[in-house]
Amino acid sequence: MNVACDHTCTPPVVLVHGWGSTYERTWGGSDLERTLEQDGRRIISVDLLGHGSARAPHESGEYAHMADELAAHLPADTVVDGVGFSLGGKLLLQLAAEQPQRFRRLVIAGVGDNLLRPENGAAVAQALHAGITDDTPAALRPVLAEALASGNDPRALAAAIERPPSLLTADQLHAIGAQVLLVVGDQDVIAGAADQVSAALPHLTGLVLEGVDHVSTPHSPRLQAQAATFLHHGRAAPPELPTAVRAHPG
């Protein structure tokens, strides 16, 4: 695989949505998408397994290799840049740890130290089936509302969130060679703090979005502007990551 790419190259950019959403709901028509197109970047639009136009199995075991499914969308003959929100960000980091030669720069949004913990999939799936009620944890309500409004198959979404765990370790993150812009909202109780993740990533720039929660993160104008700048220029600022955001136990 020819992966050579210096600071002058403009590799394709893969944009990946989070759990419960789709490419179109997250990135379609966004300022980031328009800016990348104006810059002449080839955009790889991906609907994750169980979402949007992708196949949507109802068995959780079918989702055990979501990172491999994502990798199948990437070109085999060049490096890529990537932007991933929440689950999409987790999968990009997993691929970058397993295949570090494939990535140049990554923007990872809505991911903090929750990356290193198992997802509370059973609770989310139960809430997805029951709908939003008075008993639904407040932290999950915006996420569930987005999932229920997305047009996705609820049974497929439940299977995806209950997939077999594939946790990354700090050592695996340390092997990532790509430059990473890690973006967390200071009101994001899903991602939580980013202390451990930021300590493990060797080529990190951090960005805190003030007054922004989990679901709002990919739509933040600051996120979209900084992502475009980072993908064009690379690291331009020291880490600026949150240490006091309280993580939801799920």
pLDDT in tens, 215-245: 999 999 999 999 999 999 876 444 444 433 3
| pTM of the entire predicted model | 0.91
Rounded to 5°, angle at Cα 22 from 139 and 82: 95
Give pLDDT, residue 4. 55
pLDDT in tens, 107-138: 999 999 999 998 888 888 988 888 888 888 88
Q: What is the DSSP string of 198-249?
A: HHH-SSEEEEEETT--TTTGGG-HHHHHHHHHHHHH---S-----S-PPPP-
Give pLDDT, residue 129. 87
Q: In 3-state terms, what secondary structure has residue 23?
A: helix
Q: Mind listing the domains of the chain with CATH numbers?
A: 13-233 (3.40.50.1820)
CA–CA distances in Å: residue 135 to residues 102, 112, 140, 214, 250: 44, 26, 11, 20, 15
pLDDT in tens, 145-182: 999 999 999 999 999 999 998 889 999 999 999 999 99
CB 61: neighbour CB atoms within 10 A?
11
Rounded to 5°, angle at Cα 233 from 96 and 205: 55
Looking up tokens 């080839």 gives 42
Listed residue (80, 78, 77, 5) closest to 46, CA to CA = 80
Predicted confidence band at 8 (pLDDT cuts at 50, 70, 90)?
low
